Amino acid sequence: MDEPTTLTELLTPDDMTRAFWPSGLSAALMQPEDSLRYLQDSIALARLVNEVPETVRNNFERLRKTYLYGLVEYDLFTVADDDARLILEGALRVRFMTYYDRQIPVTKQAEETRLTVASFDDVREAAKGKYQLVTRDGPCPLPLGMASLLRWARRERLLVGQRSAINDKTAVELRHHVAHPSGYHLLAPVDAARTLCRIAEYINKLWGADTPGGRTFPAPVVRLPRVAAISADGRRFVTFPSVRSIREGDPSVADGTFAVFLASPLEELYGIGGPTLHFSHRPGFQCTSLPCDLLWGPGPLATLMPLLDHYEDVALSDRVQHLDRLFVVRVDGETVDLPRSPADFAAAEEVEGEWHVIRADYPNDALWHVRQHRDLAESDLHDGRCPECPVTELGRFHDRVSTADSLE
């Protein structure tokens, strides 16, 4: 690769970068100003909140600037991606110290004390001195590397989510690859942008901030009253854009079955099974991807119409977290029930069977795990985590009392 010999050459936009459009690669090149705006938009979510210490934010801002300079040097996208892995490890170190206000609870030879640390080097020295971290579960080695720091953050609930936990292992592997490279690699701007956005979500979450619109640690979902209807013949399904819009009517479902749900606008409210359509919500079970409650119905439109004023009330809307939910899945012989929430379990009439208590982000994750791995020995689970599914199995019980106790 030829090095630039003049300032003009150094500042000339890279044609490889300009070939990336929002719609994908193209033989036509974007104008430099448009390419810069595209790059800025691609890392719009890669911002750290003010709660993150200034030192970490300064490192991350330098990372963003490196990414944007990829406009004039394509290799800088790879540099930004690589540096992001190391910045996450640095953020974990800072969070470990600030979590304890730099007074780390440690023990040595059964004597507990507080270790005052000015930098992470002090934590390393304490580990050499055989100090152990005091946790609610008892003493454990001080977390020094990225893998152990991520496990610590999960244990302290600074990081949540079962699917995101799968990313932890990959993050550690990629960090090692960056720190100990064995060859040349080159990444595209879309790859680097995805990394920066994900690392920003990790760091913000360490300091208690969700990411609206994020993919790894999204903000709680908004739920609002939504009306859906199935035609009398079961072949047409309508989700109304608002409760108010029902007053305008839809002749195709006027004689059908209606229901009002408290659900996210992102949630599909119908299911396909058999010759006709049905509501995806099923009383007593968790069948929708996001939390969903039945507010009224199912019933005819004539019965619903006098109640519309009530369901138009914005006060009925709420925000709910959908990560790390608890599900209970009953297995009775060859039958595997659909997942239940703790409230569904408390109201269930079934008594017989084996009850699996699963922590998962989505009910289908819990259901799939039990269907595929119900015979997996609990000793094959690492701290309850399935090696193949994004779930944590908290226990298997043959009586309702023990199951209920595990949910408290």
Q: Is the pLDDT of residue 123 over 70?
A: yes
Give the model confidence (pLDDT) of 335-358 as tens digits: 999 999 999 999 998 888 999 999
Q: What is the pLDDT of residue 314?
A: 82
Cβ–Cβ under 8 Å, residues 193 and 208: no
218-238: pLDDT as tens digits:
999 999 999 999 999 888 899
Residue range 360-400, pLDDT digits in tens: 999 999 999 999 988 877 767 777 888 889 999 998 898 88
**Dihedral angle, C-alpha 94, 98, 100, 102, nearest 10 °:** 90
224: closest CA among 290, 318, 292, 289?
318
Q: What percent of the chain has pLDDT over 90?
A: 69
For the residues 2-10, what does the mean pLDDT come to? 81
Please give the C-alpha separations between residue 39 and each of 185, 238, 387, in angstroms, as whole numbers: 21, 39, 37
From CA 63, how far away is CA 266, in angstroms rounded? 33
pLDDT band at residue 27 using 50, 70 and 90 as cut-offs:
confident
- The reported pLDDT for the residue numbered 110 is 83
DSSP string, 82-140: HHHHHHHHHHHHHHHHHHTTTEEEEEETTEEEEEE-SSHHHHHHHHHTT-EEEETTEEE
pLDDT of residue 210: 95
Residue 109, pLDDT above cutoff 90: no
Percent of the chain with pLDDT over 70: 99
Report the pLDDT value the prediction gives residue 207, as an integer from 0 to 100. 97
Low-confidence winner among 136-150, 201-215, 268-282 (lowest mean pLDDT): 268-282
Is residue 90 over pLDDT 90?
Answer: yes
DSSP state string for 344-382:
HHHH----SSEEEEEEESSHHHHHHHHHHHTTS-GGGSB
**Residue given tokens 């936009």 in the structure block:** 13
Q: Distances in Å between the alpha carbon of 314 and those of 205, 227, 229? A: 29, 14, 21
Statement: residue 273 has pLDDT above 90: no
H or E element: which one contains 198?
Answer: helix 189-206
pLDDT at position 1 is 61
- Strands 221-230 and 270-273 come out as unpaired
E strand or H helix at 260: strand 257-263
Per-residue DSSP letter, 143: P
What's the mean pLDDT when you consider all of the chain? Answer: 91
* pLDDT score for 22: 87
Residue 266 CA to its chain's centroid (Å): 15
Query: Mean pLDDT across the stretch 206-210?
Result: 96
Structure token digits, residue 128: 């050499």
Identity of the amino acid at 401? V
Q: Please provide residue 161's backbone torsions phi and psi, each rounded to the nearest 5 degrees.
A: 100, 135
Using the Cα atoms of residue 210, residue 212, residue 215 and residue 219 in order, give the sign of their dihedral: positive
Q: What is the pTM of this model?
A: 0.88
- 296: pLDDT strictly greater than 90: yes
The confidence score (pLDDT) of residue 336 equals: 94
Reading the block at residue 138, the tokens are 């008892």
Specify the pLDDT at position 249.
78
Under the banding of pLDDT at 50, 70 and 90, the label for residue 406 is confident
Buried b (16+ CB within 10 A) or exposed e, 157-191: ebbbbbbbbebbeebbebbeebeeeeeeeebbbee
- Whether 63 and 49 have beta carbons less than 8 Å apart is answered as no
Q: At what angle do helices 54-68 and 76-99 cross, to 10 degrees?
A: 170
> How remote is the C-alpha of 237 from its chain's centroid?
30
323 neighbors 161 (Cβ within 8 angstroms): yes
Element (H, E) at 79: helix 76-99
